[in-house]
Amino acid sequence: MLILLMLLIPFSVHIWGISIDLLARFRPEAKSAAPVGKDFQFTVLIPAHNEETRIAGILESLARQTRRNFEAYVIADCCTDDTVKIASGFPEIKILEKVSASTCKGDALNYALDVLGKRLRDVVVILDADCTVNPEFLEKLNAQYRTGSKAVMPDTNTLNPYESIVTAWYTIYWKMVSVMSRKAHARLKLSSNLCGCGMSFRREYLRHTVTITEDVEYFMALGCDGIRIDYADDAKVYQEQPVTLRDMFGQLYRWLNGVRSVNKLYIKPYLRSLFREFSLLKLDAFMTAQTCSAYGALMIMVIIMFIAGLLLAPRILPWLGAGFAVVWLSMLYIGITVTRRCRLDHRIMAAAVPTYCVFLVAMGFIYIYAIIHPGNRWISVNRSIRNEREN
């Protein structure tokens, strides 16, 4: 009974997220606010560490932007390859060379904020070196900021969805984030969660970060201050995703180590802020930020229940098996819902949906591993080698 009560904690986080999606479906989609006031000027920051095989894609997609009022900087972070040489071939791109060692992407961004200072324009957009964006990307962000937004997250997509079963899982995951989380939160006037590739902020909301997941840190910091993050569905970012299980585990370990660090840094002041000045936006942002932690807690409880069943009460093992079946069916439901609502290719439906639970279960176990073996350094993840991609 005690274990079942403890299960209510992680389940409450997941039930909260599902409830947001269900409530949003019953709420009519409001008309977008009409843009008002002046257009915004943009600064685009692209941290890059030895990205010679990938960086041409994002620079070419920026060159195709329908909105031209922006400055773009490649932050060459201790590069020892031809990253700077390739970036120099794009005359509209400026280069900041960082020669001191960095531990993570946040260090490169902090360096750029210090160097550029007041030269930063109205809105700062952060992109990765291995992504591309649609031609209307900055135009759609500008329209969203003209409605009064303070921070905006675009739509996250997978650049290589059919390369392996792993990239198909990532495709389902990011579509789940888009259609079941960000779009639902936007419809309910709540805060959309952030991804480090594509997130953008009004200049006055920029800050230095200290963890290896600057996106999670920004999300917690803005949530603690009660600042809403809007969602721009028509602004598209296409990210390359890890192809192999080994690289997937490496990326998840980096993500979840960052989540652990952010929780350690923010959870107490966040809860104090929430009780001192309660708002639904703050509570929702806190629950959303704990999704990965909830996966980890759920896996811990499942392990405890399994051991308890083996040693103390074998008769509960069938019930435990039924619990696993419920978890698998719920993840199957998520996969089918996402693929249908997003009209994903049948190849993802056939192979990735029935096995999608592997990705989410792995996330839970890796979070446990990150707690036992913490790490605070950025980990390189291998992806497809390319010099150019078409959107």
Share of the chain above pLDDT 70, in %: 84
**Strand, coil or helix: what is 156?**
strand
Which residue has better confidence, 376 or 229?
Answer: 229
Tell whether the model's pLDDT for residue 94 goes beyond 90.
yes
If you search the block for the tokens 């997937």, which residue do you land on?
248
Helices (H), 146-198: 165-176, 183-187
List pLDDT tens digits, range 5-64: 556 667 788 788 888 988 988 887 766 666 777 899 999 999 999 999 999 999 999 999
**Alpha-carbon span 111 to 241, nearest angstrom:** 26
Tell whether the model's pLDDT for residue 329 goes beyond 90.
no
Average the pLDDT over 287-305 and give the result: 78
Tell whether the model's pLDDT for residue 115 goes beyond 90.
yes
pTM of the shown model: 0.88
Q: What amino acid occupies position 231?
A: Y
Report the pLDDT value the prediction gives residue 172, as an integer from 0 to 100.
87
Task: Decide: 286 and 274 in contact? Cβ < 8 Å.
Answer: yes
Task: Decide: 383 and 247 in contact? Cβ < 8 Å.
Answer: yes
**Alpha-carbon span 160 to 238, nearest angstrom:** 9
Task: Decide: 367 and 260 in contact? Cβ < 8 Å.
Answer: yes
Which residue has better confidence, 122 or 387?
Answer: 122
**Strand, coil or helix: what is 232?**
strand
Tell whether the model's pLDDT for residue 143 goes beyond 50.
yes
Report the pLDDT value the prediction gives residue 390, as an integer from 0 to 100.
36
Tell whether the model's pLDDT for residue 380 goes beyond 80.
no
Report the pLDDT value the prediction gives residue 317, as an integer from 0 to 100.
65
Lowest-pLDDT range of 146-155, 179-188, 249-258, 311-320? 311-320
DSSP 8-state assignment for residue 178: I
**Alpha-carbon span 38 to 159, nearest angstrom:** 33
The first and second tokens of residue 288, run together, are: 């959303």
Give 387's pLDDT tier (boundaries 50, 70, 90): very low
Say how many C-beta atoms besides its own lie within 10 A of residue 245's C-beta. 14
Average the pLDDT over 83-95 and give the result: 94
**Alpha-carbon span 155 to 182, nearest angstrom:** 9
Give 76's pLDDT tier (boundaries 50, 70, 90): very high
Average the pLDDT over 202-226 and give the result: 94
Q: Count the helix, strand and coil residues of the chain and give each as a percent rounded to the nearest 5.
A: 55, 15, 30
Lowest-pLDDT range of 29-33, 45-49, 327-331, 370-374? 29-33
Q: What is the mean pLDDT of the chain?
A: 86
**Alpha-carbon span 97 to 382, nearest angstrom:** 23
CA dihedral defined by 126, 132, 138, 140, rounded to 10 degrees? -110
Which residue has better confidence, 192 or 351?
Answer: 192
Average the pLDDT over 166-188 and give the result: 90
Give 360's pLDDT tier (boundaries 50, 70, 90): confident
